[in-house]
């Protein structure tokens, strides 16, 4: 190596040549431009033996953001992270109409480039590269692709990646030049000089002002949020989050990890799957083949609530009627019957019913149907082995019960009871609150 004394002997031309070589030197950074997703524990391992603050924060980061995507540190990592995160978020929404709307919106930003004097024949090749990424995204959604491999391949192509990043740089620069009042106060040089040297120049890393302008002018119009998590030596045991776009309508957010001089992408855990299994009511899911039943064909008074039990009429104890019935509401009027049904006081005379003046219902005349004759009216209380039976649901029946229970008490809520409000001869004076 040349010692300092020999350096002083170099001519002015040689010094300028050395300075030019130093400015153009690019370190050989290994790895792809955009890596596949990988565990954030790799970052924690990098800082395991480093500063204790970094070691603690990266360990916590691996829990809150378990996956990361590494950007190549070639001076474009910040721009590349935002551009890739933008297309990845758009792809994950799986909405072709939204992709088309975003394509139209990005193309409309060409007017900003025209307003600041950019020549269309110079920037159209960068716009074409961005439109090609939109077309690949639409195709992937229509084909039902589940991963972002096509995006990784597109951004790992040196030409396509540089063209898309340059397009994003030009749109950001035009936005800042047209809105100088929002950014000039945070800059030391004039805004035009800052845009020429820090925004439009390739391989120039993005800073906080440029990143905010990129979000304001390009990303925020898509409805996406951008959050930066700073890995620094600030207080606390976790990285410091900073939201660049507080108004995020749909919750889609691009999360960047900032390490001194470098940006990567972070991912939160996927939400747990939602159980969409149908709920089946096993107690009443017995049959759906219900047919109407004739209440007038019974030789005893019935209760509308009782008769709404599925398969009750299929019981052999009900006068040999084997057809199932359909549930009826308690407020539905009783159907007309061709037979005379004995009123409640003729069937089961109880002390409570004797207080009310019950008048028998007049018989209804109708043509004689072709069916077995009605059994004679019952005048005595049937034995427990006779009369109607309540069939229990076998799915909810206790083991110590038989399959059916006899009905031995009168049906007080029947519309044939004159004290029932649906009876045609009902009067308020007949109602007895203690007889319910």
User: φ and ψ at 126, to 5 degrees?
Assistant: -75, -35
Tokens of 304: 């509308």
Q: Read out DSSP for 311-366?
A: TGGGSTTTTT--S-B----TTSPPPP-SSPPPPHHHH---TTGGGS---PPPP---
Structure-derived torsion over alpha carbons of residues 213, 248, 93, 133, reported in degrees to the nearest 10: -10
Which of these ranges, 174-188, 219-233, 297-311, has the smallest mean pLDDT?
Answer: 297-311
Write b or e for each residue in 135-153: b if 16 or more Cβ atoms lie within 10 A of its Cβ, otherwise e.
Answer: ebbbebbeeeeeebebbbe
pLDDT at residue number 313: 53
| Domain 30-267 CATH class label | mainly alpha
- Spatial contact of 222 and 105, defined as CB atoms under 8 Å apart: yes
Most confident of the ranges 29-43, 278-292, 296-310, 343-357: 29-43
pLDDT (tens digit per residue) in 180-222: 999 999 999 999 999 999 999 998 999 999 999 999 999 999 9
Residue 16 pLDDT grade (very low, low, confident, very high; cuts 50, 70, 90): confident
Helix (H, G, I), strand (E, B) or coil at 229: strand
pLDDT at residue number 292: 53
Looking at the chain, the domain(s) classified CATH 1.20.1300.20 span: 30-267
- CA-nearest of 239, 233, 204 to 62 is 239
Beta bridge mates, 38: 68
Separation of alpha carbons 111 and 108, rounded Å? 6
- Give the residue-averaged pLDDT of 293-309: 56
- Give the residue-averaged pLDDT of 288-300: 53
With tokens 């009511």, the residue in question is 281
- CA-nearest of 31, 29, 32, 36 to 68 is 36
pLDDT at residue number 430: 57
Which of these ranges, 38-52, 88-102, 187-201, 411-425, has the smallest mean pLDDT?
Answer: 411-425
- Spatial contact of 70 and 38, defined as CB atoms under 8 Å apart: yes
pLDDT at residue number 160: 95
Q: Please give the helix or strand (H or E) that residue 112 lies within, else none.
A: helix 110-115
Residue 281 pLDDT grade (very low, low, confident, very high; cuts 50, 70, 90): low
Q: Read out DSSP for 185-197?
A: GG-SS-HHHHIII
pLDDT at residue number 325: 46
339 compared with 131, residue with greater pLDDT: 131
Is the pLDDT score of 69 beyond 90? yes
- CA-nearest of 139, 15, 140, 160 to 83 is 160
- Give the residue-averaged pLDDT of 58-73: 95
- Give the residue-averaged pLDDT of 9-24: 66
Beta-strand ranges (E) seen in 22-141 are 38-39, 67-69
pLDDT at residue number 348: 45
pLDDT (tens digit per residue) in 390-420: 555 555 555 555 454 454 445 566 776 767 7
314 compared with 266, residue with greater pLDDT: 266
Alpha-carbon distances of 41 from 49, 118, 238, rounded to whole Å: 14, 44, 14
The pTM of this model reads 0.60
Let me know if 326 is exposed, middle or buried by CB neighbors in 10 A (0-12, 13-18, 19+).
middle
Is the pLDDT score of 40 beyond 70? yes
pLDDT at residue number 235: 87
pLDDT at residue number 425: 73
- CA-nearest of 218, 222, 252 to 93 is 252
Helix (H, G, I), strand (E, B) or coil at 172: helix
Tokens of 341: 């049904």
Residue 119 pLDDT grade (very low, low, confident, very high; cuts 50, 70, 90): very high
Separation of alpha carbons 417 and 430, rounded Å? 10
pLDDT at residue number 156: 97
Task: Express as a percent the part of the chain with pLDDT over 70.
Answer: 58
- Give the residue-averaged pLDDT of 294-299: 55
pLDDT at residue number 36: 96
Residue 38 pLDDT grade (very low, low, confident, very high; cuts 50, 70, 90): very high
- Spatial contact of 314 and 391, defined as CB atoms under 8 Å apart: yes
pLDDT at residue number 261: 85
pLDDT (tens digit per residue) in 321-370: 444 444 444 444 555 545 454 454 444 444 444 444 445 555 555 555 55
Residue 171 pLDDT grade (very low, low, confident, very high; cuts 50, 70, 90): very high
- Give the residue-averaged pLDDT of 139-154: 95
pLDDT at residue number 276: 58
Separation of alpha carbons 409 and 45, rounded Å? 80
415 compared with 115, residue with greater pLDDT: 115
Residue 424 pLDDT grade (very low, low, confident, very high; cuts 50, 70, 90): confident
Which of these ranges, 56-70, 124-138, 239-253, 294-308, has the smallest mean pLDDT?
Answer: 294-308
- Spatial contact of 346 and 300, defined as CB atoms under 8 Å apart: no
pLDDT at residue number 392: 53
pLDDT at residue number 111: 97
Separation of alpha carbons 24 and 7, rounded Å? 20
- Give the residue-averaged pLDDT of 302-320: 54
pLDDT, mean over the chain: 76
- Spatial contact of 91 and 148, defined as CB atoms under 8 Å apart: yes
């Amino acid at each position: 190596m040349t010692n300092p004394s020999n350096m002083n002997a170099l001519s002015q031309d040689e010094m300028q040549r050395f300075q030019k070589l130093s400015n153009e030197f690019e370190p050989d950074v290994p790895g792809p431009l955009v890596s596949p997703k990988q565990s954030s524990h790799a970052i924690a391992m990098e800082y395991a033996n480093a500063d204790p603050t970094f070691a603690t924060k990266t360990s916590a980061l691996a829990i809150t953001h378990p996956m990361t995507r590494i950007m190549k540190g070639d001076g474009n990592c910040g721009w590349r992270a935002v551009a890739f995160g933008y297309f990845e978020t758009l792809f994950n929404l799986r909405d072709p109409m939204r992709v088309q709307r975003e394509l139209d919106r990005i193309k409309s930003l060409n007017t900003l480039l025209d307003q600041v004097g950019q020549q269309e024949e110079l920037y159209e090749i960068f716009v074409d590269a961005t439109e090609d990424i939109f077309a690949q995204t639409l195709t992937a959604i229509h084909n039902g692709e589940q991963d972002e491999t096509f995006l990784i391949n597109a951004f790992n192509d040196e030409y396509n990646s540089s063209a898309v990043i340059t397009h994003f740089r030009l749109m950001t620069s035009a936005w800042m030049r047209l809105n100088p009042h929002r950014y000039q106060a945070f800059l030391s040089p004039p805004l035009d000089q800052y845009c020429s040297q820090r925004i439009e120049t390739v391989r120039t890393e993005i800073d906080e002002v440029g990143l905010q302008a990129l979000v304001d002018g390009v990303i925020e119009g898509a409805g996406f949020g951008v959050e930066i998590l700073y890995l620094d030596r600030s207080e606390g045991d976790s990285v410091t989050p900073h939201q660049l776009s507080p108004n995020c309508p749909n919750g889609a957010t691009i999360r960047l990890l900032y390490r001194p001089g470098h940006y990567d992408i972070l991912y939160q855990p996927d939400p747990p799957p939602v159980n969409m299994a149908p709920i089946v009511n096993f107690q009443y899911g017995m049959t759906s083949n219900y047919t109407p039943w004739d209440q007038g064909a019974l030789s005893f008074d019935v209760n509308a609530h009782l008769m709404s039990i599925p398969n009750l009429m299929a019981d052999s104890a009900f006068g040999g009627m084997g057809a199932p019935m359909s549930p009826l509401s308690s407020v539905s009027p009783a159907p007309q019957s061709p037979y005379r049904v004995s009123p409640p006081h003729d069937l089961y005379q109880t002390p409570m019913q004797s207080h009310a003046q019950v008048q028998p219902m007049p018989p209804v005349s109708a043509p004689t149907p072709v069916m077995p004759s009605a059994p004679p009216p019952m005048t005595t209380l049937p034995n427990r082995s006779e009369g109607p039976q309540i069939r229990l649901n076998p799915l909810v029946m206790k083991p110590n019960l038989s399959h059916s229970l006899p009905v031995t008490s009168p049906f007080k809520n029947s519309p044939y009871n004159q004290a029932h409000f649906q009876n045609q001869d009902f009067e308020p004076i007949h109602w007895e609150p203690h007889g319910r």
